[in-house]
Chain A
Amino acid sequence: MSTTFERSGITAQCVGTAAMGRTLLEGVSLDAGCGEVVAVVGPNGAGKSTFLKMLAGERRATSGTISFSGKEIGKWPREKISQVRAVLPQNSALNFPFKVREVAMLGRSPHIRFSECRRDREIVGLALEKVGIGRLAERCYTTLSGGERQRTHLARVLAQIWERPENGARYLLLDEPTEGLDISHQHTALETARELASEGTAVVAVLHDLNLAAQYCDKILVLKEGRQAALGSPRKVLRPGIIRDVFGVEAHVSAHPKLRDIPLVVPIGAAGSNGRGRAETAASV
């Protein structure tokens, strides 16, 4: 990888943060280059969302540095970074009768000075189509199902960084983007992230599904109890030993039967239990 490529991504160096005297995160380093999709995985309470919040600038790092395109996060003016970095939250508080199109249009806010122009409307239309809710554009947001709401917000963040800036990279931070989506839309969502990455976006996504992470991400950052447990390619990271240590789950990892170079994780059960569910264990795993 060229140096310019590295410089234009997201860099977190040995970052940590604490709240009320308790260390939430410590010594986490990550390098998400433009064009890369990085998954952050880990058990509940491992600090995945905290890490994403630090990348999003919501939480200040008490140690270490975070930079975008080689420029420290605190030195970015609010307006400038909002034009190139979009953040999908885990859940949203919106409970006013906005139309779906209006919610997605909010993503264009950083680019609008007075009133939206035709290009903004085009982008919103395309973003809604992209996540498959173009037909819901005029529907009231509050009447949508959970999955449809999630996709509305996905469309909003896509609209925010739809256009490639003249000189610079784009960043997409996703906190559980597949939460509440059916299988088909889980894949569409991550395919969209992949597509953005191929256009030079650095994507960091908190994911729970290890197989989705393996299939769509270049790197996986594994967190456990606020510390970095592993970082590397899916093949390097998704090993039975690591999965047992971090998640406390016995898992069988094999090569994906259909997709080349992608590991397939099949959880067997909680570590220590015999974890057979209804079935007798077939042969030896």
Chain B
Amino acid sequence: MYETARIRTIVNRSGSATRRRLGSFAPARLLAIPFRKPAIAILAAVLAAVVILAVGVGAVQISVPQIIAIIASKAGITLPFAYEAQQESVLMAIRLPRVLLGLFVGAGLAVSGALLQGLFRNPLADPGLLGVSSGAAFFAVLAIVLGDSVSSGAFAGYSHFGLPFAAFAGGSLTIACVYLIAKRHGSLDTATILLAGIAINALASAGIGLLIFAADDAQLRTITFWNLGSLAGATWQSLLVVVPLMVLPLLFLRNIGRQLNALMLGDAEAEHLGIDTERLKRRMILVVGLVVGAGVSITGMIGFVGLVAPHLVRLTLGADHRTLLPASAILGAVLIIGADLVGRTAVAPAELPIGVITAAVGAPFFLWMLLRKR
């Protein structure tokens, strides 16, 4: 923060009366925002390292120069690093989409977690609280169990997209329900949002239970694995569908950091500071709904990242959402890509579900945080 302050004072050394007006257009200020703290730059460097590691390591090893050469060749540039055709196809068809999916899903889940922790003014909130993921899970399970009969009919050609589509529809439907219930008395009441989310969570679990009861063995296996999460479903086509759904809502969040900071004081206090809290909450709910729904639709349930990433950032960098949101996004991506890397190398050639790893690492960590607090 002091760094950017220094840059700004250097840029705007002119009179103090004009500084504010000029300052808002100064390029240094625009550039400085994402790098509010050097910690974010460090996190970004860690992310880059994890991405390169995750892209290169696996059954087929690909070195860094080879990675660069393969990507460059796609842009029509030939670099003097030899690589095999198999390496190229593994990188382009499997690893790269998988790592990119991890990047977006991890960032999306962590940002959603941070937003909800802010919305509920509770550092223990997580994206699951709104019921989006369980709503998505219910529809996903519905698609798995009823899939055979449905896919022979109208959805015959779309069976590949059927499951993610159902999951996304379920997530969206859930968020719409929560929103309408919470909105019933005119204004969005945070406590009602929370309680509606919990109720819908329970309802979805009941539905899932019922469907599991009706499922056959093969379907049960699919359901179990979907519930544990995996990045293995990543293809360029799925990325093309999911990434815009996750990235576009985030554009709504411009300038949300300071507003969220003010919201931490309380709804009324934020209003007194000139913030339209109703609009802010509505935006946050819709963004979380879309981001989590889209993410979960391809990867299945991945727990704990949305809870742990923002929490960890808050412990180290403080509660300022202007730092918290970008830093959580990067850390979330690092955690998911890292967990996936462990999942597919630890017991190779088999793959551990990513949800197992995030929960196995996340839960003890969470307990440690709880115990440390007192």
Determine how close the nearest CB of chain B comes to the CB of A59; give it in whole angstroms. Answer: 10
Cβ–Cβ contact A86 & B272, under 8 A: yes
The reply on B76 being an interface residue by CB < 8 A is: no
Q: Which of B17-25, B85-93, B213-221, B348-356 lies at the interface? A: B17-25
Cβ–Cβ contact A96 & B319, under 8 A: yes
The reply on A182 being an interface residue by CB < 8 A is: no
Which chain B residues numbered 346 to 373 have a C-beta less than 8 Å away from chain A? Answer: none
Which of A78, A95, A114 has the most C-beta atoms of chain B within 10 angstroms of its own C-beta?
A114
Cβ–Cβ contact B33 & A109, under 8 A: no
Cβ–Cβ contact B33 & A115, under 8 A: yes
A89 to B271, CA, bound (A): 12
- Residues 34-71 of A, flagged 1 when their CB comes within 8 A of B and 0 if not, give 00000000000000000001001110000000000000
Determine how close the nearest CB of chain B comes to the CB of A283; give it in whole angstroms. Answer: 50
A85 to B268, CA, bound (A): 13
Q: A99-B318, A114-B33, A117-B23 are in contact. Are A94 and B271 (CB under 8 A)?
A: no
The reply on A270 being an interface residue by CB < 8 A is: no
Cβ–Cβ contact A93 & B266, under 8 A: yes
The reply on B73 being an interface residue by CB < 8 A is: no
- Residues 1-41 of B, flagged 1 when their CB comes within 8 A of A and 0 if not, give 00011001100100010011001100001001100000000
A95 to B319, CA, bound (A): 10
The reply on B52 being an interface residue by CB < 8 A is: no
A96 to B16, CA, bound (A): 33
A115 to B258, CA, bound (A): 9
Residues of A within 8 A of B275 (CB): 78, 82, 109
Cβ–Cβ contact B16 & A89, under 8 A: no
- Residues 300-332 of B, flagged 1 when their CB comes within 8 A of A and 0 if not, give 000000000000001100111000000000000
| Selected contact of A79 from candidates B16, B123, B262, B274, CB within 8 Å | B274
Residues of B within 8 A of A258 (CB): none
Cβ–Cβ contact A102 & B261, under 8 A: yes
Cβ–Cβ contact B262 & A98, under 8 A: no
| 16 pairs, CB–CB < 8 Å, chain A vs chain B | A56-B268, A78-B274, A78-B276, A87-B269, A92-B266, A95-B121, A97-B315, A97-B318, A98-B319, A109-B261, A114-B29, A115-B8, A117-B20, A117-B23, A118-B16, A121-B5
Q: A102-B318, A106-B262 are in contact. Are A56 and B20 (CB under 8 A)?
A: no
A97 to B9, CA, bound (A): 28
Residues of B within 8 A of A87 (CB): 268-269, 272
Give me the interface of B with A, judged by CB distance under 8 Å: 4-5, 8-9, 12, 16, 19-20, 23-24, 29, 32-33, 121, 123, 255, 258-259, 261-262, 264-266, 268-269, 271-276, 314-315, 318-320
Contacts between chains A and B (CB distance < 8 A), count? 101
Write the chain B residue with the least CB distance to A91: B266
Q: A96-B121, A99-B318, A119-B20 are in contact. Are A57 and B261 (CB under 8 A)?
A: no
Q: A82-B274, A98-B320, A109-B274 are in contact. Are A93 and B265 (CB under 8 A)?
A: yes
Determine how close the nearest CB of chain A comes to the CB of B29; give it in whole angstroms. Answer: 6
Cβ–Cβ contact B273 & A106, under 8 A: yes
Determine how close the nearest CB of chain B comes to the CB of A177; give it in whole angstroms. Answer: 15
Cβ–Cβ contact B258 & A89, under 8 A: no
Q: A93-B266, A94-B265, A98-B264 are in contact. Are A115 and B4 (CB under 8 A)?
A: yes
A51 to B372, CA, bound (A): 43
Q: A95-B121, A96-B121 are in contact. Are A106 and B265 (CB under 8 A)?
A: yes
Residues of B within 8 A of A97 (CB): 314-315, 318-319
The reply on A110 being an interface residue by CB < 8 A is: yes
Q: A115-B29, A115-B33 are in contact. Are A58 and B271 (CB under 8 A)?
A: yes
A112 to B23, CA, bound (A): 11
A174 to B65, CA, bound (A): 65
The reply on A107 being an interface residue by CB < 8 A is: yes
Residues of A within 8 A of B318 (CB): 97-99, 102
Residues of B within 8 A of A102 (CB): 261, 318-320
A203 to B275, CA, bound (A): 22
Q: A78-B276, A79-B274, A93-B121 are in contact. Are A114 and B24 (CB under 8 A)?
A: yes
Write the chain A residue with the least CB distance to B259: A109
The reply on A8 being an interface residue by CB < 8 A is: no
Write the chain B residue with the least CB distance to A108: B273
A81 to B16, CA, bound (A): 24
Write the chain A residue with the least CB distance to B268: A58
A85 to B271, CA, bound (A): 11
A97 to B321, CA, bound (A): 11
The reply on A113 being an interface residue by CB < 8 A is: yes
Cβ–Cβ contact B271 & A78, under 8 A: yes
